[in-house]
Structure 1
Amino acid sequence: MDFFIFKKLVSVLVMPINVAILLLILSLVFFKRKPKFAFKSLISAVVLLIVTASPPISNQLVVPMEQNYESFSLSAKPVDYIVILGCGHQSNDALAVTSQLKPCSLQRLVEGLRISRLHPEATIITSGHSIKDPVSNAEKVKQAAIALGIDGRKIITENYPKDTQEEAELIGPRVKGKNVVLVTDAYHLPRAIKYFELQGVNAIPAPAGYFVKNPNADIHWLSYFPSSHNLYKASIAWYEAMGRAWQWIAY
């Protein structure tokens, strides 16, 4: 099995929702043979879902990951490259190209374009492959950037990286020694910066796509109810934590 697929499979299997589903299945399987074990599995699944879907928990998991860097303002010297890391899309010619991007890709693109307005001298690099889609994520983001007014001649695509490590390995040699701005989701940025540092690239961090816009804001009481969005935030935090653990072990 390809190691990339293995990593993705493991990360999916240990997501909170999938662990809860496994516990629920176990409770059904052992309902008659081991009722105590089945009851414990059922309670564990319910508790796991409630806890990870609750705003106080999900926010506390993701906020520390998002607060490592300030928003990009203006570089003291000219920017050579703006690197926009890939995320995902689904091609559908019936939709505007911007609507084909996943929210994470769209948010990264918007931040990259904002920085491009501040530093029009910079060349934009988009990256990301596609497993089954006929168009790579790098190419689709480029198409969206052109639709939003960017000159296509200012955009370079890296169509083959499958994950952050490969993005750093493929893009690093091109941008090493240059003034580089690295754009990705705020929670993901520390790990991405580390991978680029391993390639000798000291990139300027440019966080995008915050899950928690203002950690100090007062939360309305209705927002404390469990929700699928909060479960998603907790899953993202868990996925990133596993990615950082793997990076720490490997490097």
Structure 2
Amino acid sequence: MLFLLKKYVAGFLMPLPLLLLIAFFALALLWFTRWQKTGKSLLTVALVLLTILGIQPVADTLLMPSEKEYQARYELRENSQQDVNYIVVLGGGFTYNPEWAPSSNLLNNSLFRVAEGVRLYYRNPNSTLIFTGGAGVNQISSAEVAAQVAQSLGVPADKTITLSTPKDTEEEAYEVDKLIGKKPFLLVTSANHLARAERFFLARGMNPIVAPANQLAITSPLHPWEKYFPSATYFQHSERAWYEFLGSMWQSIKPTGQPATIPENEDHQSDKEKSQ
């Protein structure tokens, strides 16, 4: 129940739904009340914010604080020479349509995470890929869909493990801890999510080695029309910045404890077999 409440509240607090609610409220004031000045002011604010949040310099300035420590790929980081036996790829957006190409079932940030995980696997062929993420309303889990994509790209099935019960990052850390304990591992997730994710694993005394994927905040040159024309792509960057801010705030105030996931005696091998 707490998980669903968190998702619904966060959904309404995201920039697009929130600004649309403000805009419709402003229209209601303009059409049905005498509060014309208030309605005009609210509508102006909503439209201005919808515009500037879709401009690259604004959006990426908002996003950069969550990504600035993770702009460099894994090989360029200080601890990139450490031997690892596990690569943990955190789940994200997905759907499941068996008629689609496997990669088409990974939405938004998920495909980039899996692609980076597979790339790192080929650099560390003795490692095992661990995919996390629950099923939600789909037939199979995010972890299983990700494993299917990895296997379609040539990763052997016996080199993938799926942890299909976690619903969020805290539960992902809990399940990975049960599986590999304190062994070092590569932690693959979106660059803007990595700081928050790493904190969950470190809180359990684990040894993650960060491997950022899907860097979004652009610091390299762009054409003027790419920077200053409002774009849905850059509005999404603003949304991602706000999402991570809300997530960090929740992480700082949420009581710590053991997430209620699969029982301790459940064999993770069953998840591994389902991914084959």
Q: TM-score, normalised by structure 1?
A: 0.94
Partner of 2:273: none
Paired with 1:22 and 1:100, the residues of 2 have a C-alpha distance of 30
Paired with 2:209 and 2:91, the residues of 1 have a C-alpha distance of 17
Partner of 1:110: 115
Paired with 1:103 and 1:154, the residues of 2 have a C-alpha distance of 25
Q: Is 1:219 matched up with 2:222?
A: yes
Q: Provide structure 1 residue ranges, at least 5 long, that are not aligned to the other structure.
A: none
Question: Does the 8 Å contact 1:111/1:208 carry over to 2?
Answer: yes
Paired with 2:104 and 2:199, the residues of 1 have a C-alpha distance of 31
Query: 1:44: how far off?
Result: 1.2
Partner of 1:22: 21
Partner of 2:263: none
Paired with 1:75 and 1:210, the residues of 2 have a C-alpha distance of 18
Task: Look up the SS of the partner of 1:30 in the other structure.
Answer: helix
Task: Look up the SS of the partner of 2:96 in the other structure.
Answer: coil
Task: Look up the SS of the partner of 1:206 in the other structure.
Answer: strand
Paired with 1:75 and 1:58, the residues of 2 have a C-alpha distance of 30
Task: Look up the SS of the partner of 1:41 in the other structure.
Answer: helix
Paired with 2:233 and 2:149, the residues of 1 have a C-alpha distance of 26
Cα shift readout 1:192-241 (whole Å, capped 9, x = no counterpart): 000000111120000001113x41x2221101111111111101110011
Paired with 1:226 and 1:236, the residues of 2 have a C-alpha distance of 16
Partner of 2:253: 249
Question: Does the 8 Å contact 1:78/1:121 carry over to 2?
Answer: no
Question: Does the 8 Å contact 1:79/1:179 carry over to 2?
Answer: yes
Task: Look up the SS of the partner of 2:43 in the other structure.
Answer: helix
Query: 1:173: how far off?
Result: 2.6
Out of 23-32 and 104-113, give the one that drifted further: 23-32
Q: Provide structure 2 residue ranges, at least 5 long, that are not aligned to the other structure.
A: 257-276
Paired with 1:218 and 1:77, the residues of 2 have a C-alpha distance of 33
Paired with 1:141 and 1:130, the residues of 2 have a C-alpha distance of 12
Cα shift readout 1:26-70 (whole Å, capped 9, x = no counterpart): 112211331111111111111111121111110101122112133
Partner of 2:207: 202
Task: Look up the SS of the partner of 2:200 in the other structure.
Answer: helix
Cα shift readout 1:80-127 (whole Å, capped 9, x = no counterpart): 210000012221122111122114111111111111111111111001
Partner of 2:44: 43
Query: 1:140: how far off?
Result: 0.7
**Aligned residues between the structures:** 248
Query: What value does the CA root-mean-square deviation take over the aligned residues?
Result: 1.4
Partner of 2:138: 133
Paired with 1:218 and 1:121, the residues of 2 have a C-alpha distance of 38
Partner of 1:101: 106
Paired with 1:68 and 1:175, the residues of 2 have a C-alpha distance of 26
Paired with 2:165 and 2:178, the residues of 1 have a C-alpha distance of 15
Paired with 2:43 and 2:58, the residues of 1 have a C-alpha distance of 21
Quote the sequence identity (%). Answer: 35
Task: Look up the SS of the partner of 1:12 in the other structure.
Answer: helix
Paired with 1:45 and 1:226, the residues of 2 have a C-alpha distance of 14
Query: 1:134: how far off?
Result: 0.2
Out of 88-97 and 237-246, give the one that drifted further: 88-97
Q: Is 1:79 matched up with 2:84?
A: yes
Partner of 1:65: 66
Q: Is 1:171 matched up with 2:170?
A: no
Paired with 2:231 and 2:52, the residues of 1 have a C-alpha distance of 10
Out of 92-101 and 180-189, give the one that drifted further: 92-101
Partner of 1:4: 3
Amino acid at match of 1:141: A
Partner of 1:238: 242
Out of 122-131 and 89-98, give the one that drifted further: 89-98
Amino acid at match of 1:230: Y
